[in-house]
A and B are shown apart, each in its own frame.
Chain A
Amino acid sequence: CLITPNLKMAALCSEFGDLVQIKKQLISVISLCKERGLVHSVKWASELAFALDPLPKDELPPSHLVSEEDVQDLDAFALAKSYFDLKEYDRAAYFLRGCHSKKAYFLYMYSRYLSGEKKKDDETVDSLGPLEKGQVRNEALRELRVELSKKHRAGELDGFTLYLYGVVLRKLDLLKEAVEVFVEATHTLPLHWGSWLELCNLVTNIEMLKSLSLPSCWIKDFFMAHIYTELQMIPGALQKYQSLIEAGFSKSTYIISQIAVAYHNIRDIDQALALFNELREQDPYRIENMDTFSNLLYVKSMKPELSYLAHNLVEIDKYRVETCCVIGNYYSLRSQHEKAALYFQRALKLNPRCLGAWTLMGHEYMEMKNTSAAIQAYRHAIEVNKRDYRAWYGLGQTYEILKMPFYCLYYYRKAHQLRPNDSRMLVALGECYEKLSQQVEAKKCYWRAFSVGDVEKMALLKLAKLQEQLTETDEAAQSYIIYIQEIFSCGEQLEHVEVSTALRYLGQYYFKNKLYDEASLCAQRCCDYNDAREEGKALLRQISQVRDQTETPSGELFVSLSDNNTPIKRVSPLNLSSFTP
């Protein structure tokens, strides 16, 4: 363990400039973690190391720097490690109890911890009645905490034991202390990804993140990117990952998957799909994150691709949470909702903490019109993670279906709070307010939904219709104009009916305001649509009639009309002429 301080120094002074140095550090930390049985961190580091160019032979870091104590404990450690690998934790701990090296001490404590965890899980199945089930605890935790805290105060803990201490504290629900310890662990051993990951789960908001003093090391960028994704600060995360790719990690499957997930979170479906396809090519047997991929395929209704993915994953490993979720999505897309629900249940049995499955199950029950089961599923999702906006949104939808618009306001508001820049919640909120005849609030919601970038392009239309109802003709016209601009500017014609509605309204509006040029333009455009053709023609006829009677210059009127103060109104109506339907 003499390596650790060296590693730390190395990590602190090197930025991305020296990829070779980073690779060296990764290789050493891999061997360190491997010795201690920290498999997930090994996996992460190895994936990252794999993405970097291989080192020439003479540059490889010396594999072992053995201390006196290590030599003494060598045999016992080897024995215990073999037991540990075979999941015989108590046995491993027994043979390690007399060892003095830090490595052995860590494995000793870690075995005790894992043994407690294993027993806890076994107890759960085999308990004395349901009452006791809630009380099943990892009994080893308290002892571990006492011992570790004593050592901690004496300053005898190295990076790995600090990490373990943090985990124990977290399991005991002492979250504040846990965060402190994890921060300390990252300072002592910045290269251990496990500590960073635990920190990610404990940091709940950006203020808390800012208050932490973290070591400045290249790995911190990975952490920041990860936590930005967790906290739904997607642009920041994407930026971080981009810079990491530019720094030389372009081949890392980890980064690719994280970026794909980030794109998924901001509903940039095409980008995300492309990345996932790339990922599948590079790492065809990967199961992680495939549930997210299947969500994307589901949204895009890509049945054959989803079916292919599902079959492929079943071949790889059918008892994985991700596989079950993918199959669930597959059935859901085929409208076999019972089966879908069944697979989500299976996923939950495999991992009850899998919150995506709870939410998805809620969606399935919604499809099956089983509202009460849906509510329950969503509630479970919220219990697992209070920040799950989809579950809150789902609850809102459920109550909306039950025709309780006021009641669902609370849930939509919660969802909106968690995703302030997601237009779907805002539109949903707006619709509820509209149902409650709270037009002012509804208008605010729609306008805000448009301002944050409306995904479904419906907010403006709804706003315009609302304004039309309230006989705010000018505002409605402006909204329709922006709506049409939006629709045409994004290239594809999403809904013909609604565009024609807008055009029809605008035609009438200009006609009433004696702006005959614009009116006739709108009327002509109307004729492109089947359902508005007759009205368009009628309007054209009217215009020509009126024009024959009086030759009114329209310029002044137009000026007075557009001379209003709200920002929407500044858009000139003449812009219409530039549209190409």
Chain B
Amino acid sequence: MASVHESLYFNPMMTNGVVHANVFGIKDWVTPYKISVLSLLYEMTTSKIALQEKRRLNKLILPLQQGPDLQLGQFLKTVEDCCPQTAFAVKIRLNEMADGELKDMEFFFTTLPNPTFDSEAYKTSVVGLFIRHMLLAYNKLSFSQVYKLYKSLQHYYHVYDAKPVDGQMGVPTFVADDSDMDLTSTEVTIGDKMERELDSPLYASVELNQISRGPLSQKQAEYFLAKQAYLLKNDDNKALRPAKLQEELNNMLKFNPDFAEAHYLNYLNSMRVQDIYISTHSLLHYFDRLILSGSEGKSNGDEGYGRSLRYAALNLASLHCRFGHYQLADLALQEAIRIAQESNDHVCLQHCLSWLYTLEQMKGSDSSVLTEDSVKMAAHFCLPYLASLGIQSLVQQGAVQGKSAHELMDALKDTDILHWKHSLSELIEISLAQTISIWRMYGKSTMAQQQAQLLLNMSSLEPVNFGVTQNNTEAFAVALCHLAELHAEQGLYGGTTEIFKHLKEQFPPHTQHAKLWMLCDLKIQFEKHMNDGKYHLAQPLVPAIRAQNKTEGLYRKAQVLKSLSRTTEAYRILQKLQVHCEKTRCTETIIRVLLSTAELHWESSDFSTGLPLLLQALTLSRKHHLQALASRTLLHLAFTQLMLGVPEQALSVLHEALEPILAHGGIMDKGRALMLAARCQMALVATRHSLTVAIHTLDEAASYFSTLNCKERLRDVRYLQARLHSSLGQTAQRNRCAMLFHLLDRELQTPRAPTDMRL
């Protein structure tokens, strides 16, 4: 291990015992690539070029000069696109030098236009400065250095020359033609396969060196890091695989242990694979390094390393938070707060505060007071990002606590204005995602769908780098999950599958937000199986759901048990769940639990006991504006009333719910509502007209159930229809319905549950 570094510490930049973190202070060293650029400049000044082409070349100079070193092939290609004639001239010139002798290169440098006198490249212009830098750097080289430069120029040229012209980007061919490799391959006899296999680690390392030889220069390394970091942030599928990236970074750090940013990228990378050891290690290492580089500033002031200390502690807190170590996160956060307070760093304190309420929220305690404080302070210190993040968090809490809709929407609208003003694209996305969730919670599926489409079709405000737009944020995951659920509700399982396919690609299972779609997928599958009556398929999903979300898992378990008529167990679980949810104030689940409990009472024909529960659920859902749940509760109430023998009342209650259900509800709810309506009509005084209407209603319900392929309910519908037709004396239709019923019954093979016992 140690031997790797031994050459590194003979460091001319070491003063005062401190190796300056940026050993690359001097960036202008003559490299073969720089010589190519110089020869391009030379050609441009000496030869006659058409104005059009000259203009294109001029545009090219700056990126070529400031960009990372390119391979000769790439370089010539870029020049060729602008002016083939110049590219050819450059190539000839390089060829002269590479195939000639050392003196050709020396000659080239003496003939370079000297910008001090030359008019074409003014001495303080970008080009003039560049040429002067290069000349200076070249003149400073010692004898052996000049020779080495020449050698590397030859290598640079011959690598390009030996390569087929079209394979400019092909790394494998590049490796195969590399002169280093020739050494080994000539030594090894051709049939010696063993050798190759044995040598594979060596080959791998050679290959790696070849690839990473580029990133090793300062600018290339920076470019590499910037690109990978950008990709990690925006679309980590396009970034290097975690293992590969780690390898690259290790390689980079091996040659330059002072490159602190690489440690940070290492931290991000290991966060991807949830590796707490390496991520902690890299994070701390990064800050240790950062502290050094910042040490020139004031010792404890705003710019000094005191600042990075504070943020080091804060980052550590966020790391523990990510891994769910709330206690440790809390300690780290307290530390960050304390240091920030000591040095009066309000900005850092604000960041700490916003983490503090996030942490509180994650721990499940009420943090609205803290959040409000945070928002106020952030606004005071002009930190729009933190302020609107706080407002969003408040909105979320408000929504759960049942604040009125217009307040929430107003708040979101206000923050939106702020976001657009400061172009905080991430927050815009979050805000849209939040709107989707709120609409969904209120049961307005159309609005939710519309907002989801808006988010997905919105073009990001961030500049598009490396051909990647940002679309792997949590907001996108949330929106897509909602969309999937909305599709599933309408029975459009094809669409759902498509969405999940996309989600799987965009958020592979190991990534941070993958849990969102996993749970969503499981829930949809579960619902589907339950609707189909395939309880044995739904049951194995319960542990999986439970692993993702305990409360949800328990609820689902209760549902399965209820369907399997294991009433006592189901009841016990529901009771437990209700207590738990009342503690965590999870209103939606409470309502659903209440409904399920009422259904359990129905099973034992105990309709009146369910009534208070249903009324409680109704109050709760109305209080929290949860329309979908409220309509479902009304449905349950109507059914109870029907069962208790007051169909008139039931029908009037039902009419209240019917409209919102038909407008916003899922297809299952629609079918159930219509079937219930028909049964109420049947139970009422039977006029011929009302019976006909009931038949039609049932037809409609049947069409809903058949889209869901919910055969059990379809069978019920057919039975009812047959009876209606019978009472109307329409024998032919009755027989048809009876036959349909019979077919379904044979197919299902399970004895029919008493129709009147369930909703």
Contacts and interface: CB of A to CB of B under 8 A. Distances in A.
Nearest to B152: A128
Interface stretch (B13-21, B422-430, B622-630): B13-21
Nearest to A369: B299
A477 to B, nearest CB: 31
With a 10 A CB-CB cut-off, give which of B7, B29, B195 has the most chain A CB atoms: B7
Contacts of B339: 403-404
A436 interface: yes
Given A146-B184, A146-B187, A403-B338, A373 B17 contact: yes
A82 B141 CA distance: 35
Nearest to B256: A134
Contacts of B2: 353, 355, 384-385
A344 B645 CA distance: 97
What's the dominant secondary structure at chain A's contact region?
A: helix
B255 A134 contact: yes
A128 B149 CA distance: 7
Interface string A389-408: 00000010000001111110
A237 to B, nearest CB: 22
A344 B17 contact: yes
Interface string B171-212: 000000000100110011000000100110110010000000
A125 B316 contact: no
A222 interface: no
Contacts of B111: none
A84 to B, nearest CB: 22
Contacts of B285: 379
Contact of B280 (A355, A373, A410, A436): A410
Contact of B8 (A126, A131, A352, A365): A352
A352 B5 contact: yes
B7 A120 contact: yes
A142 interface: yes
A375 B312 contact: no
B8 A173 contact: no
Contacts of B331: 406, 436, 438
Interface in B303-354: 305, 309, 312-313, 316, 328, 331-332, 334-335, 338-339, 342
Nearest to B141: A128
Given A146-B187, A172-B202, A131 B19 contact: no
Contacts of B289: 379
Nearest to A373: B18
B433 interface: no
B18 A376 contact: yes
Contacts of A217: none
B1 A386 contact: yes
A403 B338 CA distance: 9
Contact of B218 (A125, A131, A177, A385): A131
With a 10 A CB-CB cut-off, give which of B10, B195, B218 has the most chain A CB atoms: B10
B305 A406 contact: no
A406 B335 contact: yes
A355 B2 CA distance: 10
B223 interface: no
A129 interface: yes
Contacts of A372: 291-292, 294-295, 305
B17 A342 contact: yes
Interface residues of A, number: 61
B332 A131 contact: no
A377 B17 contact: yes
Contacts of A133: 7-8
A171 B4 CA distance: 8
Contact of B295 (A361, A373, A380): A373
A121 interface: yes
B6 A352 contact: yes
A129 B219 CA distance: 14
A455 B380 CA distance: 53
B145 A128 contact: yes
B466 interface: no
A317 interface: no
Given A134-B255, A342-B17, A375-B291, A127 B8 contact: no
Contacts of A405: 335
Given A135-B216, A136-B7, A406 B141 contact: no
Interface in A329-384: 341-342, 344-345, 348-349, 352-353, 355, 361, 365, 371-373, 375-377, 379-380, 383-384
Interface residues of B, number: 70
B9 interface: yes
A265 interface: no
A16 to B, nearest CB: 34
A245 interface: no
Contacts of A436: 331, 334
A411 B283 CA distance: 13
A143 interface: yes
A349 B26 CA distance: 22
Contacts of B288: 375-376, 379, 395
B571 to A, nearest CB: 40
Interface string B118-152: 00000000000000000000000110110011001
B257 interface: yes
B217 interface: yes
A130 B24 contact: yes
Given A352-B10, A372-B292, A375-B292, A406 B187 contact: no
B728 interface: no
A312 interface: no
Nearest to A145: B202
Contacts of B6: 352-353
B3 interface: yes
Contacts of A149: 195, 198-199
A170 interface: yes
Contact of B309 (A147, A349, A404): A404
Nearest to A433: B331
A300 B33 CA distance: 59
B644 to A, nearest CB: 59
A46 interface: no
A353 B8 CA distance: 10
B332 A407 contact: yes
Nearest to B184: A146
A216 interface: no
Contacts of A406: 313, 316, 328, 331-332, 334-335
Nearest to B257: A383
Contacts of B13: 130
B30 interface: yes
Interface string B60-76: 00000000000000000
A124 interface: yes
A316 to B, nearest CB: 25
25 contacts: A121-B7, A127-B148, A128-B29, A128-B30, A128-B148, A128-B152, A129-B30, A130-B24, A131-B29, A131-B217, A134-B8, A142-B180, A143-B187, A149-B195, A150-B195, A173-B205, A177-B201, A361-B17, A372-B292, A372-B305, A373-B16, A384-B1, A385-B2, A405-B335, A407-B332
Given A130-B26, A365-B17, A410-B284, 18 more contacts: A128-B152, A130-B13, A134-B7, A134-B216, A135-B255, A143-B187, A147-B187, A172-B202, A341-B17, A352-B9, A352-B10, A372-B294, A373-B292, A375-B291, A385-B1, A404-B309, A406-B316, A407-B284
The 10 tightest CB contacts between A and B, nearest first, are: A134-B255, A352-B9, A129-B29, A372-B295, A345-B17, A406-B335, A124-B7, A406-B331, A131-B217, A376-B292
Interface of A: 120-121, 124-131, 133-136, 142-143, 145-147, 149-150, 170-174, 177, 341-342, 344-345, 348-349, 352-353, 355, 361, 365, 371-373, 375-377, 379-380, 383-386, 395, 402-407, 410-411, 436, 438
Interface of B: 1-10, 13-14, 16-19, 23-24, 26, 29-31, 141-142, 144-145, 148-149, 152, 180, 183-184, 187-188, 195, 198-199, 201-202, 205, 213, 216-218, 254-257, 280, 284-285, 288-289, 291-292, 294-295, 305, 309, 312-313, 316, 328, 331-332, 334-335, 338-339, 342
